[in-house]
Chains A and B, each alone.
Chain A
């Protein structure tokens, strides 16, 4: 197993749950505020009982340039998977950088889950991700809800009440079309010098159902038959959502507070509808509480780096008619993020990154026809020796009979 594979399957080294903004010599600056608090997710069954619960401790800092940095510590609640992790996500005004540290190696290859507790020194290799901003589409719904609470309002027009914004309350915005077919109906806090979201609901807009994956540049295309079937089924189910069922998530600011004339969330919640194919679920609810605010905090806007870091960079995604590139991988040099996509390391990584076939393309349909032809040919070809043997035996037996009759 090489470093890239390790980084791909691992959640890495745990940090203390209390997040400390380190001042890095060159990049140290001041954040406008830093909010610390807790976020809880509860998933309800149709009997209203909590089926699943997860807690996060978060710390989020924002500066006047609307750059932000979020640290999220969590422990997976399933006792069978006792994994703790700490993730830091930063938006530098252009791209989103994130890194995950954990003491637990979680091997999820081929659907299995194996947990290995390893000392940090044994691998010292951590996975990081970079994607184009401003939306944290590569991260969990918990990140999406915190982004809604603190950051989303800053980019919304107060004169409007609807905008096309990715629905980041879905578990995986990269693979779930639901993230890309919704409008955000919103209200911003009035008479406030910060544009704070007080209400927001993600509602399915039927005009956003488009024919090809090319129309959704940030959505991962299916690369095989199974994935294509899953996405096709999902889109069918989403197209059937009408009226109340078309409302997929509702965010509500419950209480706010003012720090240095800046209005900030204190308590908020977000109700998320269950997937349409899960009638056994009633949906789930995020609840967020801010426990502490720090004004004018010194911070390093980028995530701190330790050890050997392997980056999955999605800034260079590209979609063509027949194929697409999801990401490129490279190791970070000298504990510094590569912000320039023209960096030689990234250029080299692009040359090694495989283009994947797009399963909804005409080229893929031709490949599939070729595959079926190969299957038919193979089925006809394989019994050939048995058939020839049979014919040979029959011919030999006939000859034997003819000889006997001649006698």
Chain B
């Protein structure tokens, strides 16, 4: 059980690193026009698309870096961070779909470069699939991790006095 949970978590964390790095690359390499970048973000309306992309890239790289650094010593940190970021993206995605600031026909989410990105028209679908994977698999790993921790004998400093 221990080995399974650890392997599962390692696979998940490595894939999370790949996905977050890939998403950053997709954003950076997408040929957004200057007009698109000047537009107000439909969810975070006080920011422009450019600012949102910049902040998202920074956070994704930071999270990917932390996951990589804590991969062996404290995988639960990476697990938590990955779940946190992917859930934030899911909420953002839902907000964009429901946004009253979106134009006619809705606005494409730009998490993974959007429809104008390197993934082209498949960008939206890939984005939804990857976010679904990160959240669902992340929850699964967390449950496995929690079960493993419950079976493990607690360290002495956690014992009640």
Q: A374-B91, A378-B92 are in contact. Are A223 and B98 (CB under 8 A)?
A: no
Q: A385-B81, A399-B157 are in contact. Are A378 and B95 (CB under 8 A)?
A: yes
Minimum CB distance partner of B38 in chain A: A110
Task: Give min CB distance, B107 to chain A, whole Å.
Answer: 10
Tell me the chain A residues, 334-375 only, with Cβ under 8 Å from chain B: 354, 356, 359, 364, 367-368, 370-371, 374-375
Provide the bound-state CA to CA distance between A359 and B100, in Å: 8
Provide the bound-state CA to CA distance between A370 and B43, in Å: 12
Say what secondary structure dominates the interface of chain A: helix
Q: A354-B104, A385-B80, A388-B80 are in contact. Are A110 and B35 (CB under 8 A)?
A: yes
What total of chain A residues lie within 8 Å of the partner, measured CB to CB?
27
Task: Give min CB distance, B151 to chain A, whole Å.
Answer: 23
A65 within 8 A of B: no
Provide the bound-state CA to CA distance between A271 and B12, in Å: 72
Q: What 1/0 mask marks residues of chain A from 361 to 397 whose CB sits below 8 Å from any chain B CB? A: 0001001101100110110011011001000000000
Tell me the chain A residues, 128-151 only, with Cβ under 8 Å from chain B: none
In contact, A374 and B105 (Cβ under 8 angstroms): no
A225 within 8 A of B: yes
B139 within 8 A of A: no
Q: Which residue of A110, A371, A388 is within 8 Å of B100 (Cβ)?
A: A371
**Residues from chain B with Cβ under 8 Å of A225 in the complex:** 100-101
In contact, A112 and B102 (Cβ under 8 angstroms): no
B142 within 8 A of A: no
Q: Which residue of A381, A388, A399 is within 8 Å of B88 (Cβ)?
A: A381
**Residues from chain A with Cβ under 8 Å of B84 in the complex:** 381, 384-385
Q: Which residue of A223, A367, A371, A382 is within 8 Å of B104 (Cβ)?
A: A223
Task: Give min CB distance, A312 to chain B, whole Å.
Answer: 13
Provide the bound-state CA to CA distance between A370 and B157, in Å: 45
A109 within 8 A of B: yes
In contact, A371 and B88 (Cβ under 8 angstroms): no
In contact, B103 and A371 (Cβ under 8 angstroms): no
Provide the bound-state CA to CA distance between A385 and B70, in Å: 15
Provide the bound-state CA to CA distance between A368 and B100, in Å: 6
10 cross-chain pairs, A with B, having the tightest CB-CB distances, nearest first: A374-B95, A354-B105, A371-B98, A225-B100, A356-B104, A370-B98, A378-B91, A110-B35, A223-B104, A367-B98
**22 A-B pairs, CB-CB below 8 angstroms?**
A110-B35, A110-B38, A110-B39, A223-B103, A223-B104, A224-B102, A224-B103, A228-B100, A356-B105, A359-B100, A368-B100, A371-B98, A371-B99, A374-B98, A375-B95, A377-B91, A378-B43, A378-B88, A381-B91, A384-B84, A385-B84, A388-B80
